[in-house]
Structure 1
């Protein structure tokens, strides 16, 4: 009971520090393009270049179609990839950056009195902000290039909430463990790459052999990718019960990650 009360108190402290969290998020976002000639325009150029590369490889070279639909067009395949890359990129970039954020911010841990859990969470929020430019491009592409209903786009702002919460929870865990295990940077990089190919980014769930479909059932990113495709590509509302389960699971991961962060936080100053 005492630990539960302490956790709630810390959670309230984090809530009261939301202005500080927003300031760190803004600073991290602006720092990405500081000193570059094109500045924030890179937030649009980068995803378009990566999408062009993926489209060339899978559409032009391998001539793949989406799922079992041999009549599907090249543009459908391209937008299917784009709609999956956005949520996965939010997760992947958040984790890869969060793992080293605390060792790189030793002054905040040793000299500044602040809730340092703000640091990994701000990275997740900054990454999500950066990917909103891609969301805008995807919405425009959906309206102009696909003959599907557009009313579902009003749900675009909420479809990424589960991946943001899930990413924040995992970011808290890896950032805390990264203080003690410096090799974790390499481990998380490999793990994220493996998860990338085990996620339905370049392929449809329906073409996966039945004996391997259990991999998607334990992949927390897979349903979020499908929600994104429902909203942006298929023009239909995602399943509310499945979305609720994903949101509940992501919230649980966030709370669990926050709890583990507070537990490991005690020794940060001694190790860094």
Structure 2
């Protein structure tokens, strides 16, 4: 009996190996669905147009529904609702059809050698086609009613990627179990209908009582629907603020690398080949990077609430320039000051860097190990402080 690999790499390999077959099968799936009808594939366009028209009439005219933001626009609710339905329909279409995929293609199992694992991917490809059409209808409606959409609509593929992976996993599982348990398709149909009303499509999570909001976020569709609605209509992007200090650190590290290359070039011209100990520079710098990251997280959060922090830090860094062993060696200081100098977090890094670059000495690994542990603690505490205080950023700003 043929053995089939269960490795995650095989999932990607199969997708690449059968990419042309998948493309052809998706085309046949989309075209075949409308074959024989008078308008053919145009139904894929008219169906979301009709549904959007119905939603607009029912919710804006009959129910006079308004989104929780309080806008008086009669068409706002329909567009916000339709944005959520675009996401839900992708998931529901794929999951509802998944249990019967193998059963509907039994000839692929018995008569030909066919990569059955691509059937759920073909199903997802067909659903993605309809999602793109629905999205185009949404864009046309938004442009007609409100003008040019927000630039954040370009982030839609990023938001949908986790949903596609989630749907693929569910589809593979359901397609397989549906061969052995024929009742699965009935159960899934009921579950997706319930999920339609248990997902924040007709309402916002923020409109629910506090005790139900946590339960709502257990629904895997909730974050995707809300993020889709945010980037399409609310013009809101959830940006990972915690990476800003890291980006700042990365930029500084780039300039440090350029300066290091200049130093190497100057050393080569003046003294010749540098000492082999220069290879220890990354080891020496690593604790400083962690320490700087932790301090940056702490200061960036504190700076939101206390605007004077930047002025204080500017003074301290200027003082630190002269209180660090940069223009002099720590050994030249009187004995009673050396102990105090080592409380400066820059002292061990500056001296160890000088040792490995110029003097050809192997770094003090014991000292660096202690420094690394302390820096790691500073990084964890700084990140925890940032995450703890970030909830109030919007209130202050």
Query: What's the TM-score bracket when you normalise by the shorter of the two chains?
Result: 0.7 to 0.9
Shift of 1:134: 0.8
Distance of aligned partners of 1:207 and 1:9 in 2 relative to their CA distance in 1, 3 Å threshold: closer
Please give the residue correspondences for 1:146-225 in structure 2 after superposition, counting only pairs within 5 Å: 146=146, 150-225=150-225
- Which residues in structure 2 correspond to 1:6-45 (within 5 Å)? 7-8=7-8, 10-11=10-11, 12-45=13-46
Structure of greater relative contact order (alpha carbons < 8 Å, 6+ residues apart): 1
**Counterpart secondary structure, 2:66:** coil
Q: 1:192 to 1:129 in 2, by over 3 A?
A: same
C-alpha contact 2:26 2:123 (8 A) present in aligned 1? yes
Report the aligned-residue RMSD: 2.2
* 8 Å CA contact retained: 1:148, 1:235: no
Give deviations 1:76-120, integer Å, cap 9, x for gaps.
111101111101000001111121111110110112212201111
> Does the 8 Å CA contact 1:68/1:207 hold for their aligned counterparts?
no
Q: Is the 8 A contact 1:14 1:115 kept in 2?
A: no
Partner of 2:106 in structure 1? 106
Q: Which residue of 2 aligns with 1:61?
A: 62
How far apart are residue 48 of structure 1 and its match? 2.0
Greater C-alpha radius of gyration:
2
Report the TM-score, using the length of structure 2 for normalisation.
0.56
Q: Secondary structure at the match of 2:100?
A: coil
Q: Which consecutive unaligned segments of at least 5 residues does structure 2 have?
A: 242-397
Look up the SS of the partner of 1:102 in the other structure: helix
Give the whole-Å Cα distance in 1 for the aligned partners of 2:151 and 2:34.
34
- The equivalent residue for 1:80 is 80
* 1-structure distance, mates of 2:121, 2:232: 27
Contact 2:95 2:170 in 1 (8 A): yes
C-alpha deviation, 1:192, in angstroms: 0.3
Residues of 2 paired with 1:188 and 1:8: CA distance? 26
> Is residue 142–residue 232 contact of structure 1 (8 Å, CA) maintained in 2?
no
Distance 2:177 2:4 in 1: 22
CA gap 1:133/1:13 in 2 versus in 1, 3 angstroms? closer
C-alpha distance 149-25 of structure 1, shift in aligned 2 (>3 A): closer
Mapped partners of 1:199, 1:213: distance in 2 = 11
Residue deviations 1:153-180, cap 9 Å, x none? 2223333222222111111111111101
Q: Any idea what the Cα deviations from partners look like across 1:40-94, whole Å, max 9, x if unmatched?
A: 111111112222333333322221110151x331111111011111010000011
Equivalent residues of 2:95, 2:171 under 8 A apart: yes
Gaps of 5+ in 1: 242-272
Between the aligned partners of 2:205 and 2:8, the Cα distance in structure 1 is 40
For 1:27 and 1:125, locate their aligned partners in 2 and report how far apart those are by CA, in whole Å. Answer: 11
Moved more, 82-91 or 23-32: 23-32
For the residues of structure 1 that align with 2:6 and 2:100, how far apart are their CA atoms?
27
SS in 2 for 1:88: helix
Distance 1:105 1:149 in 2: 42
Runs of 4+ aligned structure 1 residues displaced above 6 Å come to none
CA 1:239/1:198 → structure 2, altered by over 3 Å: closer, same or farther? Answer: farther
* Residue 237 of structure 1: how far off its partner (Å): 2.6
Q: For residues 115 and 156 of structure 1, what CA distance do their matches in structure 2 show? A: 30
